């Protein structure tokens, strides 16, 4: 069996496949994997999977492909080549576009196969595919494919679900609403399943809750921004055209209602991630989140450097707005890991994004906790000098009192202070025109 995966998610697909099948797959290339049929069935639920094929032949050239196909057992071919059957041959190229005439030539060159049925372009009984792999570098496309495959189409993956959940058509969105494809992949990394309880401490407009609710999990979240979490005030830059203010029904519950998963919605509330409001016990099967980086959303927490940090004791009003102060990235990730260690069930997973400055990146930058085991660390490139890492961790034991002093005995558990300068490094050396291009690129990443 041959699996074709999405090149756009190339660096974060393997952990998703491992989460679905518990395997370490060996493959032909970055795009194609040769797998057992039982694994293919499971991987069709992976959102980075495009299609699955019954592999009949392969080779580095079309000549090698022909030799391989002629060796394929005829008894496996015959049931799909009967005289009373209909078929179609598709030509797919990866990282290169072929003219229509060139595609026809490729199909005509397959005349050595014993097809006896009738060609039907609209509704064939059997679909066969010729796939040409031209690598993954769009700036260095070879003249000839590096590998060629031929096989019978079995099924497509979950791509239609990604299109139907696109933020382009979502009722309630914000400046940093997570892309639907990445949201589903994060849910798979966390092994979210029916009746799980999933929490997002930086919930924003709830894109991750939408993805988790699709799998039947109960979802909840918190955020420090009242206007964002409840859909109040001015519309964001990413909202509908010519819309200045939020509509009366723009909220996270409405998003889940849009996709028919409202029953999975527990609630969201305004809360400071640095001051958890939950009782000290295990609660969640998974914690999935995308913390703010200080680029398009500020990193804030309640508090003040001044002496007075709360209203007077005789204050009786209801309109008090707590003073906020900077919430450093190193503190955000330390608090997130500590919270997860205390509130995840054993075996539960934490999945989150970590922004990094690529020239300085090293493994020691990844936050660690004695109660959490690193499962995967995948990179999504944002620019030539910045990226973000999709970190997946699993709780292996309950936290102990000694964990609070772990950073003294083992420097790996000390917060990496270099994260705090990410915003300055992100904009380093950029003029105003380049900064506008960066914002536009970020918006395109969200919409695509």
Provide DSSP, 338-377: HHHHHHEEEEEEEEEEEEEEGGG--GGGS--BTTEEEEEE
Which has the higher per-residue pLDDT, 289 or 156? 289
Domain spanning 163-301+322-428: CATH 3.40.50.1220: no
pLDDT of 9 over the 60 cut? no
- Tell me the pLDDT tens digit for each residue of 342-367: 999 999 999 999 999 888 898 888 99
> Average pLDDT for residues 58-66, to the nearest whole number?
95
Distance (Å, whole) CA 230 – CA 233: 9
- Tell me the pLDDT tens digit for each residue of 214-267: 999 999 999 998 888 887 877 765 555 566 777 778 889 999 999 999 999 999
The b/e string for 104-120 (b: 16+ C-beta within 10 A; e otherwise) is eebeeebeebebebeee
Distance (Å, whole) CA 417 – CA 411: 12
> Strand locations in 80-160, DSSP E?
86-94, 118-119, 126-133, 147-156
Which has the higher per-residue pLDDT, 140 or 324? 140
- Tell me the pLDDT tens digit for each residue of 135-178: 878 888 999 999 999 999 988 777 778 889 998 888 888 878 89
pLDDT of 433 over the 60 cut? no
- The pLDDT of residue 176 is 80
- What whole-number percentage of the chain has pLDDT above 90? 47
Distance (Å, whole) CA 295 – CA 445: 15
Which has the higher per-residue pLDDT, 392 or 51? 392
The b/e string for 277-301 (b: 16+ C-beta within 10 A; e otherwise) is eeeeeebbbbbbbbbbbbbbbebbb
> Average pLDDT for residues 409-433, to the nearest whole number?
67
Residue 396: closest CA among 358, 423, 369, 435: 369
In CATH, the number for domain 18-157 is 3.30.2130
Tell me whether the CATH fold assigned to 18-157 matches the one assigned to 163-301+322-428: no
CB 346 within 8 A of CB 397: yes
Tokens of 3: 């699996």
pLDDT of 441 over the 50 cut? no
Q: What angle do CA 175, 178, 181 make, to 5 degrees?
A: 145
Range with the poorest average pLDDT among 198-212, 287-301, 377-391, 409-423: 409-423
Distance (Å, whole) CA 413 – CA 203: 26
Distance (Å, whole) CA 277 – CA 271: 7
pLDDT of 126 over the 60 cut? yes
Domain boundaries, the chain: 18-157, 163-301+322-428
- The pLDDT of residue 24 is 34
Highest mean pLDDT among 37-41, 86-90, 408-412: 86-90
- The pLDDT of residue 86 is 97
pTM value surpassing 0.75: no
What single-letter DSSP state applies at residue 447?
H
Confidence band, pLDDT 50/70/90 cuts, at residue 27: very low
- The pLDDT of residue 270 is 92
């Amino acid at each position: 069996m041959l699996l074709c995966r999405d090149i756009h998610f190339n660096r974060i697909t393997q952990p998703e496949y491992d989460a679905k099948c518990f395997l370490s797959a060996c493959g032909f290339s970055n795009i194609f994997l040769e797998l057992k049929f039982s694994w293919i069935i499971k991987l069709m639920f992976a959102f980075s999977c495009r299609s699955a094929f019954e592999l009949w032949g392969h080779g580095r050239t079309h000549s090698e492909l022909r030799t391989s196909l002629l060796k394929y057992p005829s008894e496996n071919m015959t049931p799909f080549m009967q005289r009373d059957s209909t078929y179609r041959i598709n030509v797919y190229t990866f990282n290169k576009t072929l003219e229509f005439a060139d595609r026809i030539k490729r199909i005509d060159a397959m005349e050595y196969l014993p097809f006896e049925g009738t060609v039907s372009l609209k509704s064939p009984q059997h679909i066969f595919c010729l796939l040409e792999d031209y690598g993954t570098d769009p700036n260095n496309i070879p003249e000839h494919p590096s590998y060629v495959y031929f096989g019978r189409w079995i099924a497509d993956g979950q791509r239609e679900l990604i299109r139907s959940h696109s933020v382009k058509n979502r009722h309630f969105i914000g400046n940093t609403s997570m892309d639907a494809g990445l949201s589903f992949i994060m849910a798979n990394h966390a092994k979210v399943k029916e009746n799980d309880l999933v929490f997002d401490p930086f919930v924003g407009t709830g894109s991750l809750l939408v993805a988790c609710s699709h799998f039947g999990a109960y979802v909840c979240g918190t955020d420090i921004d009242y206007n964002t979490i409840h859909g109040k005030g001015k519309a964001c830059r990413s909202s509908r055209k010519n819309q200045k203010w939020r509509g009366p029904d723009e909220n996270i519950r409405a998003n889940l209602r849009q996709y028919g998963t409202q029953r999975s919605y527990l609630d969201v509330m305004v809360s400071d991630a640095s001051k958890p409001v939950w009782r000290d016990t295990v609660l969640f099967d998974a914690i999935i989140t995308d913390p703010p980086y200080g680029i398009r959303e500020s990193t804030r927490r309640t508090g003040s450097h001044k002496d007075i940090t709360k209203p007077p004791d005789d204050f009786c009003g209801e309109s008090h707005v707590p003073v906020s102060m900077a919430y450093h990235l190193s503190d955000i990730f330390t608090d997130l890991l500590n919270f997860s260690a205390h509130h995840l069930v054993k075996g539960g997973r934490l999945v989150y994004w970590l922004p990094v400055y690529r020239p300085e990146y090293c493994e020691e930058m990844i936050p660690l906790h004695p109660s959490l085991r690193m499962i995967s660390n995948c990179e999504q490139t944002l620019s030539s000098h910045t990226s973000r890492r999709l970190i997946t961790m699993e709780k292996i034991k309950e936290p102990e009192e000694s964990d609070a002093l772990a950073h003294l005995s083992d420097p790996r558990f000390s917060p990496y202070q270099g994260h705090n300068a990410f915003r300055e490094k992100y904009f380093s050396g950029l003029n105003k025109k380049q900064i506008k291009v960066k914002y536009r690129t970020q918006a395109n990443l969200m919409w695509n």
